[in-house]
Chain A
Amino acid sequence: MNKTRKLLIVGIIVSLLVIVVCSFVVPSISKEDVKDTSSKIQQTQQKDEGKKDEHASSNEESKKDTEKTPEKSETKTDQKQEQANQSSVPNSSSSNMDSEGTKEETKDPTEDVKDPIVETISIQVSIKGLDGAVFVQEAAQVEKGYSAFDALSLTCTKYGMPIQTSGFGKFVYVQAINGLKEKDYGAKSGWKYNINNAYVSSSSGAYILQENDIMEWYYVYD
């Protein structure tokens, strides 16, 4: 009788200690990560300043820079155009185009600093409920490396739609979106997702989104 109690108390204390140790270990890792990224940003800034000086002095360096710049400026204009389309302000896009035409070279260093922090990719998100009733259909910007589930939860929080899930990480399973639950319309009904109109065999938590993917979430009956 007393043996079991001692055993249980020891077990509980040990597991609590493990939890406390874990709580100390986990935040320290995240702090280091933050430091790493901040130091990288500083390095890139220094590099850019160096580039500026060289650009002024030698012609060869300036050629390399101009070779690099068009790609970046293109991607940036694309993003800005899409943002402008979303906010439905047509003037901003045109003004950006003009300003970049004139100040292309002076703007580039700041872009180089911004790029390593958040690399975004543009995707199409659509969520369809019963009989193809559209909950959401829009073009969205998500961070690079986001999974299909991350993009879904981002969209749902944006529109204030609650989602119910079980599991976590790569094993996440979507039970309900906006109150429409699995098994509401038959035992085999539930939520599925397509990428580029094709079935994906992996979990939504495991599929990493690519540039220009068309993600579609839809509800199926039996």
Chain B
Amino acid sequence: MSTIKLKKVQEISLIGILAAVNIASRLYLQALPNIKPVTSIIILSVFIFGLAFAAKLTIVTTIVSDIFLGFGLYTIFQILAWLVICVISDFIAEIARKKGKMPPLILMAIFCALMGYVFGFVVSFEKLMVGGPIMFWTYYLSGLAFDTLHALGNFVFYFICAPIMIKTFVRESKKLQ
């Protein structure tokens, strides 16, 4: 599959819609720790719309949702973590583009789950900055349970999000052009 090329207006409106989904999920799934579709949606948007779109989506999602959830030094690191995930999944997306189709659903879901651990690792860099390596490792290891929940959430939400997003956007893209 190839990335869908969007006009400027379409891009802005799509970023708005997907960011709204992300923000709503971050606000209203607060009861479930780290189980949120945000990472899955970002990875899918890298595959469908390309890296630049996903990067913009990441920044909008993080900043707007942190207006409600509270700003901190971690805001920067959340953006950084999701950008790292974007870049990693872009390498996979390039392989998929060469082959001309999406990788199997289960493989992609496992990839999403791994990205949950990557996210936890990068966000922990905040403590490296504040308190040195010892604080970083203690913080990371104590957060490993929540990373596992994040991975589990990604795995589940990929199965929900992937069929919906790929089908709708590929179908709509034919109408748009």
Interface of B is mostly: helix
- Are B52 and A167 in contact, with the CB atoms below 8 A? no
Residue of A nearest to B130 (CB): A26
Pairwise interchain contact B136-A23, C-beta atoms closer than 8 A:
yes
The residues in A between 24 and 40 inclusive whose CB is less than 8 angstroms from any CB of B are 26-27
Q: In chain B, residues 105-146, which have Cβ atoms closer than 8 Å to a Cβ of chain A?
A: 125, 128-133, 136
Cβ contacts under 8 Å, B70 to chain A: 166-167, 173
Is A23 a contact of B87 with CB atoms below 8 Å? no
Contacting residue for A9 out of B50, B80, B87, B128, CB 8 A: B87
Would you list which residues of chain B between 1 and 43 have a CB under 8 Å from chain A?
3
The distance from the CB of A27 to the nearest CB of chain B, in whole angstroms, is 4
User: Chain B nearest CB: distance from A146 CB in Å?
Assistant: 20
Bound together, the chains give a CA A4 to CA B69 distance in angstroms of 29
B72 near A168: Cβ-Cβ < 8 Å: yes
**Is there a chain B Cβ closer than 8 Å to A103's Cβ?**
no
Q: Mark A10-27, 1 if CB is under 8 A from B, else 0.
A: 011001100110110011
> Which chain B residue has the least Cβ–Cβ distance from A30?
B132
**Contacts known (A26-B131, A27-B132, A167-B72); A8 close to B125, Cβ less than 8 A:** no
**How many pairs of A and B residues are in contact by the CB < 8 Å rule?**
49
User: A187 an interface residue at 8 Å Cβ cutoff?
Assistant: no
What separation, in Å, do the CA atoms of A26 and B90 have in the docked complex? 34
Encode contact with A along B84-100: 1 for CB under 8 Å, 0 otherwise: 10110010000000000
The binding surface of chain A is classed by DSSP as helix
Contact with B along A117-139 (1 / 0, CB 8 A): 00000000000000000000000
Is the beta-carbon distance between B132 and A5 smaller than 8 angstroms? no
Residue of B nearest to A15 (CB): B80
A8 & B83 in contact (Cβ 8 Å cutoff): yes
> Closest approach, in angstroms, between the C-beta of B32 and any C-beta of chain A?
17
B136 to chain A, nearest CB (A): 7
Q: Which residues of B contact A168 (CB under 8 A)?
A: 72-73
Residues of B within 8 A of A23 (CB): 128-129, 132-133, 136
Q: How far is the CA of A22 from the CA of B87 in the complex (A)?
A: 24
Chain B residues positioned under 8 Å from A11 (CB to CB): 83
Enumerate 7 A-B pairs (CB-CB under 8 Å) in ascending A order. A8-B55, A12-B80, A12-B84, A19-B128, A19-B129, A22-B128, A22-B129
Give me the 7 closest cross-chain CB pairs, A-B, nearest first: A166-B70, A4-B52, A27-B132, A22-B129, A23-B128, A19-B129, A19-B125
Binding site for A on B (CB under 8 A): 3, 50-52, 55, 69-73, 80, 83-84, 86-87, 90, 125, 128-133, 136
